[in-house]
Structure 1
Amino acid sequence: MSESLFKAATAFCTKCGSILPLLQEFGSVKCYSCSADYNADNFNNIKFNYTVHFNTVTSATLENIVGNEPDGPVVERKCPKCGNDRMSYATLQLRSADEGQTVFYTCTKCKYKETENS
């Protein structure tokens, strides 16, 4: 048997240098490129660490969400419910690409919501 051409970490095949797949069967790992078999015991001391970061809501950000902060950019538009002349807006493409977008308006005073297809 010939000596390995590659010297690599256990995550790489020592015969062809390819990245080894995850355990496929109990007890062995098979290289996709050269079909070399490796005993699963060779991978016992490999550890993976993952960090998942979540958004955190603090009392200050919660006040901004439920407070009087606008939901987006503000335009001069009269609210049909309370008569306030300022509304915030957001846009989405809900219909097909050759049609206009849908604009969602929210009153900055009473939070009344209305939509407009532009």
Structure 2
Amino acid sequence: MDSSSSCFHSDPDFCPECGSILPLPGLQDTVTCPRCKFKIDVKDFEGKVVQSSTVFNKLEGSTTLLQGKEAVEIHGPMIERKCLRCGHEGMTYHTRQMRSADEGQTVFYMCLKCIRRKRIHNC
């Protein structure tokens, strides 16, 4: 098929037959839809400008404890959990997949008062 036998008119970024997003034109004379194999003449893309941008957002919700090289940045949600070292009630936590995907995540806790860290392997 070619664009002259299309069922309807669509934005040039999408296939006029099935609506799938089209790949960017290459060196070929046509752009082929990866889903339905509909072919569009590359001249239909003439003058099209592609722009992209990357935005790096500032991390929010972090706090720094201590000063100098002992400074520790605290991230993550807080939980009411008692620290075994100092007895403080309140820790932050985060999880990571440290082992294979069919095993549970590892939970890392950190006391907000004495900066003690503890990890728990979930099964």
TM-score, normalisation: structure 1: 0.52
> Displacement of 1:113 after TM fit?
0.7
By how many angstroms is 1:50 displaced? 3.3
In structure 1, the residue matched to 2:117 is 113
Task: Report if aligned partners of 2:25, 2:45 keep a CA contact under 8 Å in 1.
Answer: no
Where structure 1 has 5 or more consecutive residues not aligned to the other structure, the ranges are: none
Matched, 1:88 2:86: no
Rg bigger for which structure?
1
**Secondary structure of 2:118's aligned partner:** strand
Q: Which amino acid aligns with 1:46?
A: K
What secondary structure, in the 3-state scheme, does the structure 2 residue paired with 1:46 have? coil
The structure with the greater share of residues assigned to strand is 2
> What's 1:28 paired with?
29
RMSD between aligned residues? 4.1
C-alpha separation in 2, matches of 1:28 and 1:104: 55
- Give 1:77 shift: 1.3
Q: Return the alpha-carbon distance in structure 1 between the equivalents of residues 104 and 23 of structure 2.
A: 47
Preserved contact between residue 83 and residue 91 of structure 2 (Cα < 8 Å): no
TM-aligned CA distance change 1:9 to 1:45, over 3 Å: farther
Deviation at 1:88, TM superposition (A): 0.8
- The answer to whether the 8 A contact 1:88-1:107 is kept is yes
Alignment of 1:44-83 (within 5 A): 44-57=46-59, 61=60, 64-67=62-65, 71=75, 72-80=77-85, 83=86
TM-score by length of 2: 0.50
| Percent identity of equivalent pairs | 23
Within 1, Cα distance between the matches of 2:82 and 2:39? 69
